[in-house]
Structure 1
Amino acid sequence: MALALFDLDDTLLDGDTASLWFEHMVDRGWADAAMARQEQALMARYYAGTLAMEEYMAFTLSPLAERSLTEVAAEVALCLQERIVPRLYPEAQALLQHYRARGDRIIIISASGEHIVRPVARHLGVSEVLAIELEQVADRYTGRTQGVLTYQGGKVTRLRQWLGEELDLLDSHGYSDSINDLPLLELVEFAHVVNPGERLAKLALARGWESLLWRR
């Protein structure tokens, strides 16, 4: 069973789920407009490959502190239907079906929080997810993360932890839009870049990686 590894944000959909979720929190009064501007400034550093993910997560998870898992899940479900599903690339969904038909093991590996990524993955019919884990105490979020963050090299670390001796890279495929995912793309046998930025596009061309241009 070959591996098919997918980044989520700006790869399977046109946009970033964490930012879309933050916009939803602003609309619901969980965060204010000033926080939204700060979140966008942090995201600019993400796209430049200079973001400390610990800083981003500490900031964006602060509105969830002391909120129940049930309350957050209900709001994520609304955000999913209103903001995320309309942005999913048809090509991405067709490609997931391609690997599903081949009998491959599909894993979504995302640098967004698991509270967002798992519902999106379920919508896409993907059962295996590696995302940033959120600390919980007595069925409430603390506003903190736990474990290794699935960001940059942390994606490879978590993948190795998850699969252990089952890790088999023969005929493995990886998909991402981001230079932050270079460690993951270098791990697989066949790397594919989706709507890549300039740095990743040049690297993909030099290495002979497939470059895909997807639109909604």
Structure 2
Amino acid sequence: MNRRTVLKSAYAQFLFLMSGADHDQMDRMRSYITTMVAGWDVEQVKSVVGETLHDIVDPLVFAEAAELISDHKLCGRDVVIVSASGEEIVGPIARALGATHAMATRMVVEDGKYTGEIAFYCYGDAKAEAIRALAAREDYALEHCYAYSDSITDVPMLETVGHPTVVNPDRTLRKEAAARGWQMRSFSKPVSLRDRLPAAPSGAAVATSFAVGVSALAAGALTYTLLRRFAF
């Protein structure tokens, strides 16, 4: 990535962190990211992510979220990470968290390179549809499931479950949650994901949605979706 690309990505991420992202902003971000990565070698990108995820870029998770994740895992609940970010980034983080499943944005690949087109955009209504499809396959009872998010763009996801919760919500989502009577929580203690890994129980249950695009590697903006497995 040249200097101009790095600066543009950093600026886009700054705007996201300061103001959140509505649908128009997300569309612009998506267009920018897909154009930027066209022609990149897929295996090289995966290799870079794998080599730098903890040595250079150290993802953050809120301590309160880590405790919540542990509580859900101890209850035997499945972990599902649902993210608008690319699967190349979400996959390694999902594995680090011991997730059962991960759903993320997938790019079209031809001859080992990204074409700049999107095969599946895990965002908005599509994210909710992906969750319903997974629930059908895995026999999740959605009325007993939990979802956590900080963004108004995740309202379709929150509506699919019986226990929606907003965490550090943006202004629009806060108003929506108040109108619907959804639970609100505040997380304020970011910690290194690497430091939390030894304490995390193995097994089962959260979904963590990491902000947006390639620049989300450096972000602490997280949303969470937890799905519970029930015996029938």
Q: What is the TM-score normalised by the length of structure 1?
A: 0.74
Rounded to whole Å, the distance in 2 between the matches of 1:84 and 1:196 is 23
Distance 2:129 2:19 in 1: 19
Residue matched to 1:83 = 57
Inter-partner Cα distance in structure 1 for 2:117 and 2:92: 20
Any conservation in 1 of the 2:78–2:100 contact (CA below 8 Å)?
A: no
Q: How far apart are residue 55 of structure 1 and its match?
A: 4.1
Q: Partners of 1:51 and 1:45 in 2: how far apart?
A: 16
Amino acid at match of 1:172: C
Displacement, 1:41? 8.4
Provide closer, same or farther for how the CA distance between residues 89 and 34 of structure 1 changes in structure 2, counting only shifts above 3 A: closer
Structure 1 range deviating more: 73-82 or 192-201: 73-82
Task: Map 1:175-214 to 2 at 5 A.
Answer: 175-214=148-187
Q: 1:143 to 1:79 in 2, by over 3 A?
A: farther
- The answer on whether the counterparts of 1:173 and 1:190 sit within 8 Å (CA) in structure 2 is yes
**How far off is 1:119 after superposition?**
1.3
* Alignment gaps of 5+ in structure 1: 1-24
For 1:126 and 1:30, how far apart are their aligned partners in 2? 35
* 1:99 alignment partner in structure 2: 72
Question: 1:43 and 1:191 mapped to 2: Cα distance?
Answer: 23
In the alignment, does 2:144 pair up with 1:155?
no
Q: Give 3-state SS (helix, strand or coil) of 1:162's partner.
A: helix
Bigger shift: 131-140 or 74-83?
A: 74-83
Maintained 8 Å contact 1:175/1:185: yes
Instruction: Please identify which structure carries the higher helix content.
Output: 1
C-alpha displacement of 1:214: 0.9
Q: Which residue of 1 aligns with 2:39?
A: 66
Residues 98-128 of structure 1 deviation map (CA, whole Å, 9 limit, x = unaligned): 2121111221111111111111111111131
Distance 1:30 1:101, change over 3 A: farther
| Cα separation, 2, equivalents of 1:125 and 1:111 | 19
Does the CA contact (< 8 Å) of 1:68 and 1:141 recur in 2? Answer: yes
Distance in 2 between residues matched to 1:114 and 1:43, nearest whole Å: 20
Please give the secondary structure, in 2, of the residue aligned with 1:51. helix
- SS for the counterpart of 1:134 is strand
State whether residues 174 and 184 of structure 1, in contact with CA within 8 Å, keep that contact through their aligned partners in structure 2: yes
1:164 corresponding residue in structure 2: 136
Amino acid at match of 2:131: L
Mapped to 1, the partners of 2:40 and 2:3 lie a distance apart of 10
Amino acid of the structure 2 residue aligned with 1:159: I
Output the amino acid matched with 1:150.
C
Q: How many residues align?
A: 187
Extract unaligned runs of 5+ from structure 2: 191-232
Say if 1:114 and 1:131, in contact at 8 Å, map to a contact too: yes
Alignment of 1:146 with 2:130, yes or no, is no
The answer on whether the counterparts of 2:64 and 2:187 sit within 8 Å (CA) in structure 1 is yes
Q: Deviations over 1:47-99 (max 9, x none)?
A: 241326454223213333232222101222355223342x2112222222221
Residue of structure 1 aligned with 2:109, choices 136, 145, 169: 136
Equivalent pair of 1:30/1:63 in contact (CA under 8 Å): no
* Aligned partner letter, 1:111: A
SS in 1 for 2:99: coil
